[in-house]
Amino acid sequence: METNFKFNSILILKYLNMKKVYVFFTVIFVVVAINAFAQDSQENFFLIKKEKNSIYGNTDVYYLDPASKEQYPSPKGGKGQYVEVTGMEVNSIEKLKQIELKIFKPEEIKYLGTNSCIANFIVTTSGKIISVSFSFRGWEPAEVPVAKLKEYASQIKENITFEYSFRPEPVQEGYLQQSVFVFRSLNPPQNIKSKAGN
């Protein structure tokens, strides 16, 4: 009887130890899975926002660079006044088209260019793009190749710059909002507009 009790006790202890090991590895797996998911989400992340278009009543869809949510100072003159943009040139619209054609398939460009798609930039007064977001105005595409959109944004920041003229000249660097119609490489024309940042 005593032997059976000891034997049963040993079996119970082994079972409990195995259960502890199982729980331990389960917790480890969950933690690793959560960390892996969090890293992947940060590396491939666009803030996706949908809004009702107040003019047309359709849906606007935004793929927002998280950096676009930051507050950026506008350029100011020597007396602290806001400066006026009197001229603007992009280094190469042709380069922008080449980047687009290199990343996307022709059918993707034609589809995404079916209706309005705008690339929204935040640009320093010296012309460097620090943030790229995309907005589909008045429509919601059925499929958006987000990884390619991310690569497009990265290539734009690396290869496209702007040159501005101001009145008066800013005494310290500020930021501007810049918008360019994209997915027009197979659907011209291309338009550009500019306004001072917040």
Q: What is the CA radius of gyration of the chain?
A: 27
The C-alpha angle 183, 186, 190, rounded to 5 degrees, equals 60
Q: Are residues 75 and 170 in the same domain?
A: yes
Q: Are residues 34 and 54 in the same domain?
A: no
Q: How far apart are CA 159 and CA 95, in angstroms?
A: 8
Q: Kindly report, residue by residue over 109-145, the tens digit of the pLDDT.
A: 999 998 889 999 999 999 999 999 999 988 889 889 9
Q: Domain range spanning residue 19?
A: 1-43
pLDDT at residue 23 greater than cutoff 60: no
Q: Is 19 helix (H, G, I), strand (E, B) or coil?
A: helix
Q: Are residues 149 and 190 in the same domain?
A: yes
Q: Is 140 helix (H, G, I), strand (E, B) or coil?
A: coil
Quote the number of domains for the chain: 2
Q: Are residues 66 and 157 in the same domain?
A: yes
Q: 149: which 2 tokens?
A: 């959109």
- Percent pLDDT > 70 in the chain is 71
Q: How far apart are CA 134 and CA 62, in angstroms?
A: 6
